[in-house]
Amino acid sequence: MTAPKPQRRARKIAMTPDEVTAFLGEERTCRVATISADGPHVTPLWYLWDGAQGSEGSGGPEGSGGGTLWLTSLSRSQRWTDLERDPRVAVVVDAGHDYTELRGVELRGRVEVVGEVPRTGEPDPELERVEQAFADRYTGGHVVIDGRHGWLRLHPEKITSWDFRKLG
């Protein structure tokens, strides 16, 4: 796995890798853009950011090993249909109200399906930790496997961030 391309523009307001990891850890909803037959399709989803990859590397999203964004999606949805045809996505997480408060992260790359689709609970060591972390974050620790969702993994090829609070 290669590290994401470094951000070239707007370096003055770019977040550090640690800031990206902290930001993605505190926000809860992302917007996922896929490419449908009719053009772009954007939907909100909950996500899990794993900024340290253990054996695959570490150091945050722009470090030596990058990070992983985990998404769970209905397997019978326009988003899933789009991704079966073309796995490229752009994912945005942002926050702020006034101009001087705006901050966010865009992650781009190709998703890959992990585990069975739809997820019915077959033991999967790769998903065990992810499902529990997702449950701890969103459902009070209760892992929900409903036979309608599947897991998607994104190792970002490019990460762009901004934090207008750095403008002073």
CATH topology of domain 11-167: Pnp Oxidase; Chain A (2.30.110)
pLDDT tens-place string over residues 8-44: 667 889 999 999 999 999 999 999 999 999 999 999 9
Give me the mean pLDDT over the 85-98 stretch.
97
CA separation for the pair 1, 6 (Å, rounded): 15
pTM: 0.86
Structure tokens at 161: 């961030």
Dump pLDDT digits (tens) for 70-82.
999 999 999 999 9
Task: Give the C-alpha separation, 110 to 87, whole Å.
Answer: 5
pLDDT at 9: 61
Residues comprising the chain, all counted: 168
**In the chain, where are the structural domains located?**
11-167
